[in-house]
Copies of this chain bind each other. A is one copy, B any other.
Amino acid sequence: MLIAVAFRPAGTTGTEPAHIRTRGLWGWRAAMADETAGLAEALRRQADTVRRLKQEKASPEVVAEQVARLLELKAQLGAEEGKPKFVLKTPKGTRDYNPKQMAIREKVFDIIISTFKRHGAEVIDTPVFELKETLTGKYGEDSKLIYDLKDQGGELLSLRYDLTVPFARYLAMNKITNIKRYHIAKVYRRDNPAMTRGRYREFYQCDFDIAGQFDPMIPDAECLKILHEILSGLQIGDFLIKVNDRRILDGMFAVCGVPDSKFRTICSTVDKLDKVTWEEVKNEMVGEKGLSSETADRIGEYVLLHDGLGLIEQLLQDPKLSQNKLAREGLEDMKLLFEYLTLFGIADKISFDLSLARGLDYYTGVIYEAVLLQPQNAHVEEPVSVGSVAGGGRYDGLVGMFDPKGRKVPCVGVSIGIERIFSIMEQKVEASEEKVRTTETQVLVAAAQKKLLEERLKLISELWDSGIKAEMLYKKNPKLLNQLQYCEDTGIPLVAIIGEQELKDGVVKLRVVATREEVDVRRENLTEEIKRRTCQP
């Protein structure tokens, strides 16, 4: 996968020198511009870094980012010297997909889409940008990460930040009150990229949502079943799905003494528990958000709890929590959810976790998040550090924000974050040294002698017209050896060889690349023979 090296754009990964990490890449760049003389020196140091990383056999992704930075420095220096100014790269936080990466991506999509279809989902698509006002007020503090388009006259537009808000806009606009749909598309966030860990500014989301007024927890349980099927199907290692309910959180905040107005912001703080310690979370609650130390401690007692049915029963007995209407509703529903998950046979992978809060504002009921528990494969040298790979929950108020009359459409959904899964799958493929084919070509049309271009064109045209996937070399007189080598390189399993004699006899010599076996096949039987030999067993 060395082909990927040259085109990964720069980002901050934690492996760069401290002055870059602390000042940020852009600050550092600006400083560089001031001291032009420093550029050559920076270039030399960066070249050293790349050389060292290669010697140390650092992971291709790490090397790629450093090479990208090296190229950028070179271009910058070139610009100073009057050479072409532009940098040959993709925008920060984005990447191209080469054919090998696409092959892996298609495999992942196949598993996800077939699961969505197995659950009867329809599919929709929406534009990559929305009116800016459609996104306004939906993402809380994260709104600053939205990409806006330039005002070139006309409407003010923004790139979509997720697929959930466009879905809610779609439902409200078309007055749809009942749909089960999936949507797979790229979304955009001006976040700090960490591409070695699969965090990009342009990335795919694979969303499945159920909209409609139904009996409690049945669609919610199906979303978790789908998540379980997909994570099992991908075979990327053991996983755990944490669940909680915004109503339980809110009830808990209430009984701990958090004022109503601070529920959402305290929720954001609790959400950091998977990344930082309780001490830090408590400091934020008390120092930044203004809770009393006692209130924070009371929250602390709850959020460290996680378990299954047992914990639900325990909390239903909790003298304070059980008196709170919201919390009780949430707990009763959680109990029902676990009953359904048990019927689905997946309760063992689900953990009721009071520390799960989720960042987004719009959730109103059950929430969940899937995390991978360990490196997927003992053969991989450097386990990828991956956090959450999927999340979701119930958002019963979002569609109503778009409806002129505020009519609500209850919704629940799950979103799979594909880039982290790609990172893992790519490493897995690399580690296994499995050869990934990037085409499906069944046969190469080849000539044994010169001056047979016309005959090759005629034969390949016949094959294409009968549905065979066929290639030929774009040379008038290619050498047979080169034609066979092409098959070895690209994994084409068969060669259809014509020569003077074969043309006279009305046959084609069919060669099996792997075994070098050759057999004459009558021209009229060639299509059938190729199909027979290349169909899946």
Asked if A96 contacts B128 (CB within 8 A), the reply is no
Task: Point out the residues of chain B lying under 8 angstroms from A87, CB to CB.
Answer: 131, 133
Given A149-B149, A170-B96: A402 touches B88 (CB 8 Å cut-off): yes
Task: Point out the residues of chain B lying under 8 angstroms from A98, CB to CB.
Answer: 124, 174
Task: Point out the residues of chain B lying under 8 angstroms from A176, CB to CB.
Answer: 3
Asked if A219 contacts B474 (CB within 8 A), the reply is yes
User: Could you list 8 A-B pairs, sorted by A, with CB under 8 Å?
Assistant: A94-B129, A95-B127, A96-B126, A97-B125, A119-B470, A154-B190, A340-B457, A345-B461
Given A88-B172, A130-B90: A343 touches B470 (CB 8 Å cut-off): no
Q: Is A475 engaged at the interface, CB distance under 8 Å to the other chain?
A: yes
Residues in A306-355 with C-beta less than 8 Å from chain B: 339-340, 343-345
Task: Point out the residues of chain B lying under 8 angstroms from A157, CB to CB.
Answer: 91
Given A126-B96, A438-B122: A6 touches B464 (CB 8 Å cut-off): no
Choice from B85, B125, B225 contacting A461 with Cβ under 8 Å:
B225
Cα A340 to Cα B460 with chains together (Å): 12
Asked if B91 contacts A190 (CB within 8 A), the reply is no
Q: Is A439 engaged at the interface, CB distance under 8 Å to the other chain?
A: yes
0/1 interface trace, chain A 437-457, chain B, CB 8 Å (1 if under):
011110000000000011001
Residues in A99-131 with C-beta less than 8 Å from chain B: 99, 102, 105-106, 117-131
Asked if A464 contacts B229 (CB within 8 A), the reply is yes
Task: Point out the residues of chain B lying under 8 angstroms from A92, CB to CB.
Answer: 154-155
Q: Is A426 engaged at the interface, CB distance under 8 Å to the other chain?
A: no
Asked if A91 contacts B127 (CB within 8 A), the reply is yes
Residues in A201-225 with C-beta less than 8 Å from chain B: 202, 210, 212, 214-215, 218-219, 221-222, 225
Instruction: Using CB atoms, name the residue of chain B closest to A343.
Output: B457
Asked if A91 contacts B155 (CB within 8 A), the reply is yes
Choice from B96, B151, B170, B461 contacting A124 with Cβ under 8 Å:
B96
Given A88-B169, A474-B212: A464 touches B118 (CB 8 Å cut-off): yes
Task: Point out the residues of chain B lying under 8 angstroms from A289, CB to CB.
Answer: none
Task: Point out the residues of chain B lying under 8 angstroms from A142, CB to CB.
Answer: none
Asked if B99 contacts A133 (CB within 8 A), the reply is no
Choice from B7, B120, B150, B172 contacting A148 with Cβ under 8 Å:
B150
Asked if B475 contacts A214 (CB within 8 A), the reply is yes
Task: Point out the residues of chain B lying under 8 angstroms from A99, CB to CB.
Answer: 122-124, 181
Task: Point out the residues of chain B lying under 8 angstroms from A126, CB to CB.
Answer: 90, 96-97
Task: Point out the residues of chain B lying under 8 angstroms from A218, CB to CB.
Answer: 453, 474-476
Task: Point out the residues of chain B lying under 8 angstroms from A85, CB to CB.
Answer: 133
Task: Point out the residues of chain B lying under 8 angstroms from A96, CB to CB.
Answer: 124-127, 170, 173-174
A223 CB → nearest B CB, Å: 11
Interface residues of A (CB under 8 A from B): 3, 6-7, 26, 75, 78, 83-92, 94-99, 102, 105-106, 117-131, 133-134, 147-155, 157, 159, 169-170, 172-176, 181, 186, 188, 190, 202, 210, 212, 214-215, 218-219, 221-222, 225, 229, 339-340, 343-345, 402, 404, 438-441, 453-454, 457-458, 461, 464-465, 467-471, 474-476
A76 CB → nearest B CB, Å: 13
Choice from B95, B150, B469 contacting A150 with Cβ under 8 Å:
B150
Task: Point out the residues of chain B lying under 8 angstroms from A88, CB to CB.
Answer: 169, 172-173, 402, 404
Asked if B7 contacts A173 (CB within 8 A), the reply is yes
Task: Point out the residues of chain B lying under 8 angstroms from A467, CB to CB.
Answer: 118
Task: Point out the residues of chain B lying under 8 angstroms from A457, CB to CB.
Answer: 221, 340, 343-344
Q: Which 4 A-B pairs have the closest CB atoms?
A: A214-B474, A99-B122, A120-B471, A94-B127
Task: Point out the residues of chain B lying under 8 angstroms from A153, CB to CB.
Answer: 26
Given A124-B99, A130-B91: A404 touches B119 (CB 8 Å cut-off): no
Task: Point out the residues of chain B lying under 8 angstroms from A90, CB to CB.
Answer: 126-127, 130-131, 173
Instruction: Using CB atoms, name the residue of chain B closest to A212.
Output: B474
Given A91-B157, A202-B127, A454-B343: A120 touches B439 (CB 8 Å cut-off): yes
A473 CB → nearest B CB, Å: 8
Given contacts A91-B157, A214-B474, A344-B461, 18 further A-B contacts (CB under 8 A): A85-B133, A86-B131, A89-B173, A97-B126, A98-B124, A98-B174, A99-B124, A118-B468, A119-B470, A120-B469, A121-B439, A128-B188, A149-B159, A215-B474, A229-B465, A343-B461, A344-B457, A345-B465
Cα A91 to Cα B150 with chains together (Å): 14
Cα A3 to Cα B173 with chains together (Å): 10
Task: Point out the residues of chain B lying under 8 angstroms from A461, CB to CB.
Answer: 225, 343-345
Task: Point out the residues of chain B lying under 8 angstroms from A225, CB to CB.
Answer: 461, 464
Asked if A147 contacts B154 (CB within 8 A), the reply is no
Task: Point out the residues of chain B lying under 8 angstroms from A89, CB to CB.
Answer: 131, 173
A78 CB → nearest B CB, Å: 7
Cα A499 to Cα B58 with chains together (Å): 61
Cα A339 to Cα B454 with chains together (Å): 9
